[in-house]
Amino acid sequence: MEKNKVIIIGCGGVGTVVAHKCAQNPDVFHEIVIASRHREKCDAVAKAIGAPNISTDQVDADDVNQLVALFHRHQPKLVINVALPYQDLTIMDACLVCGVNYLDTANYEPRDEAHFEYSWQWAYRERFEKAGLTAILGCGFDPGVTGVYTARAAKHHFKEMHYLDIVDCNAGNHGKAFATNFNPEINIREITQKGRYWQDGQWVQTGALEVHKPLNYPEIGPRESYLMYHEELESLVLNYPTIKRARFWMTFGQEYLTHLRVIQDIGMASIEPINYQGMEIVPLQFLKAVLPNPKELGENYTGKTSIGCRISGIGKDGQPLTYYIYNNCDHHAAYQETGMQAVSYTTGVPAMTGAMMFLKGLWCKPGVHNVEEFDPDPFLDVLNAQGLPWHEQFNVDLEL
């Protein structure tokens, strides 16, 4: 039998979880290579996991030639890209050169512009199709599981979905005055953007975090939730054209928002390079260097995340239906299993699950695809068994 060999690129919080979860499933992941800019970080994770089928390597994933050399050395079937969104296109280019399949958790962003859209990666569709290669885009939690939840709703419950609200709550406490739960640079670029949602066939723009309301989260209670733009909205409204309105909400605490406002007001969120003592620095990248590393937040993190989809429309029986599907994930339990907090965990487990779907031939379709284009059922079965069980509620008040 041909061996299932995967390369995980990126060894931050998410990469660490992906490596742990792949190693827990050796019947599917026969060989695992972790490669990142700094090999010593990969070595530390491989050592902590201590499985015989993990090796490490070094790569600068901004450089297609280095990626091609890496793929030639290891001959993987699939690359799981959990580096940064800046590297998506170089990794996809190398996949095409070497005949490697591709999976990621965040859409491409150019470094000099905080702009999120799938067009850059969708432009690879024909080339992946012709090469007989599968690319699975956005296979974390959001994007990722939220798309699969929506696919489940469409497959099993709705004749027509009309209103989709993705709700993302982090009710955890890490005990720091200010920290981001994943890469600070990517996180701050994302949440300081203008809000945007889909309404009646077009995008409606709002000020950054301007629209907000309290929403109730299961086992958590009410949390102030802010309307933001999020990348999965773009593919979901295309793939489910009956959706009249699609929005994304995320909770933030007052402390977090105050710090964020100060960071912006004093210019530290800027991505424009400045000259400092003869050296060019980007303020946001400097800020990242002094903020807590999201990878190290896990130890004292308590509380839960709760992410789900609230959907209303017409049910399969022709009657009006409201539907809520969600997962709650405990930071401490995630830490005990993988050494990482729940935000890394809820991203890494779906990335491993998507990779498993591909390797088992269940999500194998040449071209470039968003997760909702595949069968949600086997994916959701695995999520249940791998630490992210989901729950459904019918005909409840969606509050939206």
- The answer to whether 354 touches 379, Cβ cutoff 8 Å, is yes
- The answer to whether 182 touches 288, Cβ cutoff 8 Å, is no
Encoded one letter per residue, x for contact with ligand NDP by CB under 6 A and - for no contact, window 346-375 reads -x----------------------------
**Numbers of helices and strands, H then E, in the chain:** 14, 18
Interaction residues for ligand NDP, span 77-106 (CB under 6 A):
82-85, 87, 105-106
Closest CA to 103 of 111, 95, 114: 95
Interaction residues for ligand NDP, span 284-323 (CB under 6 A):
294-295
In angstroms, rounded to a whole number, what is the distance separating the alpha carbons of residues 180 and 184? 5
Q: Is 37 in the site for ligand NDP (CB under 6 A)?
A: yes
**For residues 184 and 313, which CB has a smaller minimum distance to ligand NDP in the complex?**
184
Q: Is 62 in the site for ligand NDP (CB under 6 A)?
A: yes
The DSSP result for 290-349, as a single string, is: HSPPGGG-GGG-BSEEEEEEEEEEEETTSSEEEEEEEEEEEHHHHHHHHSS-HHHHHHHH
Which residues neighbour 347 within 8 Å (Cβ) at sequence distance 6 or greater? 13, 14, 17, 82, 105, 140, 141, 144, 182
Query: Least distance (Å) from ligand NDP to the CB of residue 58?
Result: 8
Interaction residues for ligand NDP, span 182-221 (CB under 6 A):
182-183, 186
Q: Is 172 in the site for ligand NDP (CB under 6 A)?
A: no
In angstroms, rounded to a whole number, what is the distance separating the alpha carbons of residues 100 and 24? 23
**For residues 9 and 209, which CB has a smaller minimum distance to ligand NDP in the complex?**
9
Q: Is 97 exposed, middle or buried (0-12, 13-18, 19+ CB in 10 A)?
A: middle
Q: Is 230 in the site for ligand NDP (CB under 6 A)?
A: no
Query: Least distance (Å) from ligand NDP to the CB of residue 163?
Result: 22
Query: Least distance (Å) from ligand NDP to the CB of residue 70?
Result: 10
In angstroms, rounded to a whole number, what is the distance separating the alpha carbons of residues 298 and 320? 42
Selected binder of ligand NDP within 14, 103, 154, 284 (CB under 6 A): 14
Interaction residues for ligand NDP, span 120-159 (CB under 6 A):
140-144
Span near ligand NDP by CB under 6 A; candidates 43-51, 60-68, 119-127, 356-364? 60-68
Cross-strand partners of 329: 305
Name the residue with the smallest CB distance to ligand NDP: 12
In angstroms, rounded to a whole number, what is the distance separating the alpha carbons of residues 121 and 21? 26
Q: Is 169 in the site for ligand NDP (CB under 6 A)?
A: no
Q: Which residues bind ligand NDP (CB under 6 A)?
A: 10-15, 36-38, 41, 59-62, 82-85, 87, 105-106, 140-144, 182-183, 186, 294-295, 343-344, 347
